[in-house]
Amino acid sequence: MCAERTLRLHTSRLAGVRAVEPGYKLATCVRIAMLYLEDDDPVAAEGFIKKASALIAGSRDPVLELQYKTSYARIMDAKRRCDCGGCCFCCCRCFYARSITVVAPSPP
């Protein structure tokens, strides 16, 4: 029920305002989708991921992109599209590996 409370809060903020930053709208849609997935409701989460899919191309935030891809993969897995979901999880793993930079300790 946490997802419903968050949904009401954010949609009330977005409803009366026309000029909303795409990054804020994207982060909100991804967060609500993640909350719906936590509540085991992939059908409702899919609607918000579809809204986010129109905005993800303009995103430069790697954490938000990873959250979007992971949520999308979980939705595909819940819909029993394992071949597509498996590809998405693999893509997420590769994306995560590329985004991590390893810093070696400096020599004494």
pLDDT tens digits, one per residue of 38-63 = 999 999 999 999 999 999 988 889 89
Task: Give residue-wise pLDDT tens across range 18-38.
Answer: 677 888 899 999 999 999 999
| Contact present, 98 and 61 (Cβ < 8 Å) | no
How many Å apart are CA 43 and CA 94, to the nearest integer? 27
Percentage above 70 pLDDT, the chain: 57
What CATH topology corresponds to 2-99?
A: 1.25.40
C-alpha distances out from residue 106 to 35, 96, 99, 100, 103, Å: 41, 25, 22, 18, 9
Better pLDDT: 39 or 87 = 39
How many Å apart are CA 72 and CA 11, to the nearest integer? 21
| Token pair recorded at residue 58 | 């303009």
Contacts (Cβ under 8 Å, ≥6 apart) of 77:
85, 89
